[in-house]
Amino acid sequence: MFGVEGLMKKDFLSILDLSRDQAQNLLKRAAWMKENDFRSNILEGKTIVLLFEKASTRTKVSFEVSINHLGGHHVFMTPADSQLGRSEPLKDTARVLSRYVQGLVVRTYGQKNLEELARHGTIPVINALSDEYHPCQVMSDLLTIHELTPDFEMLKIAWIGDGNNMAHSWINAAARFPFKLHLAVPRGFEPGRDILKRAVDLGADIKITHEPREAVHEAHYINTDVWASMGQEEEQKTRSQAFAGFCVDEELLKEAPEEARILHCLPAHRGQEITDAVIEGSSSLVWDQAENRLHMQKAILEWIFKQVQAQ
């Protein structure tokens, strides 16, 4: 589909929207942008709508600053600010906003919402989080890893916790980068079978276990997230029982290499999925992760809008 200014429209709904080469190049470009405090005018004269159904700190601010650094403007909207709160069809919203602005950054519940906006709109759509995927976060996490160990070939990355949108995006990432991914999840909280099968069919090296100690053994990076995501608050008590033993604490880290580094996308429930001592410890990379949202999102925005004119 052709989008604004006669360009081929790009959407970023999951990491699999990137080829292997594009994914690798985004890491290198974001690292260069960070090193050089990059600014540009690629979004000059363009307005991007941030359409958020879910609350946010890092995603909202990092995208707003990214758009500003690239010379653009943004409009922030929640369902209360739009007809989405009154059940206007998404296809109508997509077609109307396509007449006003040049891009959509969407934080929503259903992945199908993003797909419908992308299908009916003529402007790029970026997934800022859905219940199924969180691609901007995981690409930023990969940037954090890339800064310390740019050769992914020998890496083992461990995921401890829920088979949620973050786990799904790590699974997709394993289909684009040559690291080993071991996920330790409680029984009944495994990642989506279709998502896992697709990644394995694409060549991903993934293992699922129900034992956190097995996952962290020989892991270079250990990653976790909250046990109950937004919209799952009523399940908190049940999940706390199911996830007993899945806390990234000092005891679990005894099973990992001494040099293993810790990742958490934040916000963290300290004392549940991770202890205060670990997140504040010398192995923690969580603040670099948070900063890298800014640099990776600038690289994603540039990739989307720096296109060759359609013939």
* Res 236: pLDDT: 74
Residue 2 has pLDDT above 70, yes or no: no
* Res 308: pLDDT: 37
Mean pLDDT of 213-217: 98
Mean pLDDT of 236-249: 91
Residue 82 has pLDDT above 80, yes or no: no
Which residues are designated catalytic? 107, 134, 137, 225, 265, 293
Token pair of 167 as six digits? 């786990």
Report residue 275: phi and psi, to 5°: -90, 160
The rounded distance, in Å, linking the Cα atoms of 131 and 113 is 11
Mean pLDDT of 227-251: 84
pTM of the model: 0.94
* Res 117: pLDDT: 96
Token pair of 141 as six digits? 């996490």
Give the whole-number percent of the chain exceeding pLDDT 90. Answer: 87
Residue pLDDT, tens place only, 259-304: 999 999 999 999 999 999 999 999 999 999 999 999 999 999 999 9
Lay out the sheet containing 221-224: strands in order across: 205-209, 180-184, 156-160, 221-224, 261-264
Reported as a pLDDT band with limits 50, 70 and 90, residue 156 is very high
Lowest mean pLDDT among 2-6, 43-47, 137-141: 2-6
Instruction: For the chain, list the domains and their CATH numbers.
Output: 4-133+292-305 (3.40.50.1370), 137-290 (3.40.50.1370)
Token pair of 230 as six digits? 């937004």
Residue 234 has pLDDT above 80, yes or no: no
Give the number of C-alpha atoms closer than 13 A to the C-alpha of residue 201, restricted to the C-beta side.
7
